[in-house]
Amino acid sequence: VPIVVMASGAGSLLAALIGRAEGQAPYRIVGIVVDRQCPAADIAHRHDIPLVDCRVGDHPDRAAWDTALTEQVAAFEPDWVVTAGFMKILGPDFLSRFGGRIVNSHPALLPSFPGAHGVADALAHGVKVTGTTVHLVDAGVDTGPILAQEPVAVRPDDTEDTLHERIKSVERELLADVVTNLVTKGVVIDGRKADIP
Ligand code: GRF
């Protein structure tokens, strides 16, 4: 089953998804989208996976960027799109084209600590347990239906980095497991089969 992964950070979640795909996973990554030059882009090159840098091209405004990105990803004809550290909000064109088939991983137990600083916010708040959430992407920021969660204990000497690395070690496995299940079984939320065309 063809999937596209969108990343823009260290790419450790992307690397985990590639690792599974090169093993026995029922999905293959047909394209990778990044929004900057980043290790995730280098990983794409190393694994010979077609790479799209979504900044390429002159987009006069966000709507044009949204449309261009939608066309670029649609060209791969993915059944599913996975955002793993992609730090841009997906626009209405993209959501109408792929809505219900976009999976995101967030390094906190949503609905707590949504947004781009979930790990730092959890640490600053002084929670004893945080974790990771895999959810379907909707028009909001980290607000779509939750598919899976795993707790991660916060340690007294944790920094944002040590905590985030520990969360990512859990996140990598959970995201790969959820994507594997989605591509084989689809997704059922509250007993309803999600509208996956
Ligand atoms: C992950 O923690 C993900 O949940 C968050 O950004 C991080 C990406 O890590 N959105 P990496 O770039 O895959 O290492």
pLDDT of residue 35: 86
**Residue 118 near ligand 1, beta carbon < 6 Å:** no
**Residue 131 near ligand 1, beta carbon < 6 Å:** no
pLDDT of residue 8: 87
pLDDT of residue 188: 62
The predicted model scores a pTM of 0.92
pLDDT of residue 36: 83
Does the annotation count 106 as an active-site position?
Answer: yes
Give the active site residue among 45, 59, 106, 135. 106
pLDDT of residue 189: 56
Task: Say if residue 181 carries a ligand binding annotation.
Answer: no
Residue in 87, 147, 152, 171 to alter for ligand 1 test, most ligand atoms within 8 A of Cβ: 171
ipTM value for the complex: 0.96
| Rounded CA separation 165/171 (Å) | 9
Angle at which helices 39-46 and 12-21 cross, to 10°: 20
Residue 115 in contact with residue 121, Cβ under 8 Å?
A: yes
**Per-residue pLDDT tens listing for the chain (197 residues):** 999 999 988 999 999 999 999 888 999 999 999 988 889 999 999 999 999 988 777 788 999 999 999 999 999 999 999 999 998 899 999 999 999 999 999 999 999 999 999 999 999 999 999 999 999 999 999 999 999 999 999 999 999 999 999 999 999 999 999 999 999 887 765 555 544 33
| Rounded CA separation 90/176 (Å) | 22
In Å, how far from its chain's centre is CA 13? 8
Q: Which atom of ligand 1 is least distant from the CA of 168? A: 2
Please tell me the residue having the least CA distance from ligand 1 atom 8. 85
pLDDT of residue 18: 95
Helices assigned H by DSSP within the chain:
12-21, 39-46, 62-74, 92-98, 118-125, 160-185
